[in-house]
Homo-oligomer: A and B are copies of this chain.
Amino acid sequence: MSRGPYNLIMTKPLGAPLPTIRRLPVYVRILKERHEAGDIWISSDALGRRLDLGAIQVRKDLSSVGAEGKAKHGFPIAETIRVLTEFLGTDDYAEVFLIGAGPLGAAVLADDNVVRHGFKIVAVFDPDRDLSGAEVFGFKVFPLSKMTDLVRRTGVKIAVLAVGPSALREATDVIAATELEGVFDLTGLAPELPKRMVVVREDFGSHLAALAGELGGKRRAER
């Protein structure tokens, strides 16, 4: 999100529709899965079935970012992975900082999917001084104050924000002072961040609520 409200002139095209961009990583994961299983080709239909999407949508998505398939065979798995990850720019953004070494931060560190998608947490920061120097899943925890400098020196462009409410202010202040380009905000508190940064927000609570809402809707519809 963070698609600003009054976008009068010149809306920027991202090269593909946003929903497509959001599906891309999911394709990549399945493709890698098939690649590891030794498959060479996959049809849009097979790919779609795996994800409850129509074959046509898969083709539209893939073709909109320049991936090409071959009639009769489908899409060449290795090449398609290449095109997709290049489009996603995963390689340019592979190194990520993590802010927050609590249970949520630990879950991010332990998450295979983060690795599977080609990312690497390269440093962990925490506002709590008591945690500095501690180790979480083999990562040494740095004091938050070191981050500004490390962003500059390493050129890392994405941070995952996973702190609790008490440390939020301090964390956002530090982030605002950096040249970071994107923040993955897991706090669920929708903190204000500089407009120049792309922010993706997710939290367990609101997804649960949305799920409950869908269930409630289904129930409503059935009566």
Contacts and interface: CB of A to CB of B under 8 A. Distances in A.
Interface of A: 1-6, 12-16, 18, 21-22, 24-26, 28-30, 48, 50-54, 87-90, 92-93, 96, 102-104, 106-119, 137, 157-158, 160, 164-165, 181-182, 184, 186, 188, 190, 198, 200, 202-222
A42 B30 CA distance: 45
B113 A216 contact: no
Contact of A190 (B12, B51, B184, B208): B51
Question: Helix, strand, loop or mixed for chain A's interface?
Answer: helix
A74 B204 CA distance: 29
Given A29-B206, A212-B88, A113 B188 contact: yes
A162 B205 CA distance: 14
- Number of chain copies forming the complex: 2
Nearest to A202: B207
7 contacts: A4-B52, A25-B209, A88-B212, A113-B203, A117-B206, A158-B208, A200-B211
